[in-house]
């Protein structure tokens, strides 16, 4: 039977992206809720329990509420919010995390979709910490430059407003989350194995899609070892390229139109700069969610993803 899929919160940025990726597929059946009913709990509950798999594209509290509406033992969930990313009874939806993660996701009933900043940081750092090339207490600093679509509908409207001449500050990258621990840090620590809280400096810039995670390291004589380790770890992942070539400029929107990730090992002398470039709405959100759905339902892992 064709699996039935319901997107709870399909009008948000991630929900719309997931819907567009699934709309033309004939191996799944999308369930729809009328616009007038999308805040009706009883209607949502009916669709959630009728679905084989539900995407939650909602704020944290609403995502928790949606999970509480499930009354059967068959509906599976992929949650794109931050509500369950470090919960012990949820599986983290990053199949490239380890050799076993793909199989764990495939069997899971509850999968938490990673955040965009954390995706890049974990892809870069988890293999290095696990191998011992970086100690778990290394003082990590992470800079993340992302397009404004990652901020959701309100931020998109702010940046794409035709009457924004007076909002001169939107013309330059803006540092945010300056006075509190960023919501992605707990998952970064959990899945990299870091025991010292990293410093995460996120910036939003005046372009729509694409994110670049930048991690500087001072590890003498280890650049080649890091390159070899990352290359080996991701050798079977057709959605991840590990490169040592040094571009004149490393743009944050380099993979904005697809679902692949480019990891680079850059730097000079004993200074190392690691970067991860990908689509914040692709591998950083909707693309990752569809990849997880494919794994959970037994499809080709990369079905429906844009990989060039």
Q: Are residues 46 and 149 in the same domain?
A: no
Which of these, 156, 119, 158, 122, lies nearest to 279 by C-alpha position?
A: 119
Whether 303 is covered by a domain: the verdict is no
Structural domain span for residue 209: 116-280
Could you give the CA distance from residue 218 to residue 239 in angstroms, rounded to a whole number?
28
How many residues in total does the chain contain? Answer: 308
pLDDT at 239: 97
The token duo for 40 is: 């009706």
Confidence tier at 279 by pLDDT (50, 70, 90): very high
Q: Are residues 104 and 149 in the same domain?
A: no
pLDDT at 39: 78
In DSSP terms, which residues pair with 147 in a beta bridge? 205
Q: Are residues 91 and 108 in the same domain?
A: yes
Q: Are residues 221 and 258 in the same domain?
A: yes
Q: Are residues 293 and 274 in the same domain?
A: no
Confidence tier at 246 by pLDDT (50, 70, 90): confident
* Helix (H) or strand (E) run with residue 291 in it: helix 287-297
Q: Are residues 97 and 167 in the same domain?
A: no
Q: Are residues 123 and 223 in the same domain?
A: yes
pLDDT at 71: 97
**Residue range 127-166, pLDDT digits in tens:** 999 999 999 999 999 999 999 998 888 899 899 887 877 7
Q: Are residues 126 and 259 in the same domain?
A: yes
**Reduced to 3 states, what is the DSSP secondary structure of residue 112?**
strand
Q: Are residues 101 and 136 in the same domain?
A: no
pLDDT at 77: 98
The pTM (predicted TM-score) of the whole model is 0.95
Question: Catalytic residue positions?
Answer: 116
Q: Are residues 22 and 126 in the same domain?
A: no
230: which residues sit within 8 A by CB, 6+ positions away?
124, 127, 128, 242, 263, 265
| pLDDT over 80 (residue 278) | yes
Q: Are residues 158 and 261 in the same domain?
A: yes
Whether 102 is covered by a domain: the verdict is yes
* Total count of domains within the chain: 2
CATH number at residue 129: 3.30.360.10
Could you give the CA distance from residue 265 to residue 276 in angstroms, rounded to a whole number?
9
pLDDT at 221: 86
82: which residues sit within 8 A by CB, 6+ positions away?
60, 115, 183, 184, 187
Whether 73 is covered by a domain: the verdict is yes
Whether 306 is covered by a domain: the verdict is no
**Residue range 190-211, pLDDT digits in tens:** 999 999 999 999 999 999 999 9
Calculate mean pLDDT across residues 67-83.
97
């Amino acid at each position: 039977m064709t699996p039935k899929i319901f997107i709870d919160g399909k009008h948000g940025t991630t929900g719309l992206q997931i819907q567009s990726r699934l709309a033309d597929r004939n191996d799944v059946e999308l369930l729809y809720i009328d616009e007038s009913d999308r805040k009706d709990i009883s209607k949502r509950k009916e669709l959630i329990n009728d679905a084989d798999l539900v995407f939650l594209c909602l704020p944290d509290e609403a995502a928790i509420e949606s999970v509480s509406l499930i009354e059967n033992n068959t509906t599976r969930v992929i949650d794109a919010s931050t509500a369950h990313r470090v919960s012990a009874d949820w599986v983290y939806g990053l199949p490239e995390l380890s050799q076993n993660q793909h199989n764990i996701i495939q069997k899971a009933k509850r999968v938490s979709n990673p955040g965009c900043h954390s995706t890049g940081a974990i892809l870069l750092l988890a293999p290095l910490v696990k191998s011992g090339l970086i100690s778990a207490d290394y003082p990590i600093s992470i800079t993340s430059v992302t397009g404004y679509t990652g901020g959701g509908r309100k931020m998109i409207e702010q940046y794409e407003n035709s009457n924004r001449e007076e909002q001169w500050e939107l013309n330059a990258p803006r540092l945010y989350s300056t006075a509190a621990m960023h919501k992605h840090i707990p998952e970064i620590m959990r899945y990299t194995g870091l025991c010292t809280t990293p410093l995460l400096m996120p910036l939003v810039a005046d372009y729509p899609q694409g994110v670049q995670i930048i991690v500087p390291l001072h590890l003498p004589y280890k650049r080649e070892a890091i390159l070899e380790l990352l290359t080996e770890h991701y050798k079977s992942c057709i959605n991840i390229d590990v490169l040592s070539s040094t571009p004149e400029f490393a743009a944050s929107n380099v993979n904005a139109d697809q679902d692949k990730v480019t990891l680079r090992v850059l730097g000079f002398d004993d200074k190392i700069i690691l970067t991860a470039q990908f689509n914040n709405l692709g591998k950083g959100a909707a693309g990752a969610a569809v990849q997880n759905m494919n794994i959970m339902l037994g499809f080709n892992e990369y079905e429906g993803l844009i990989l060039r």
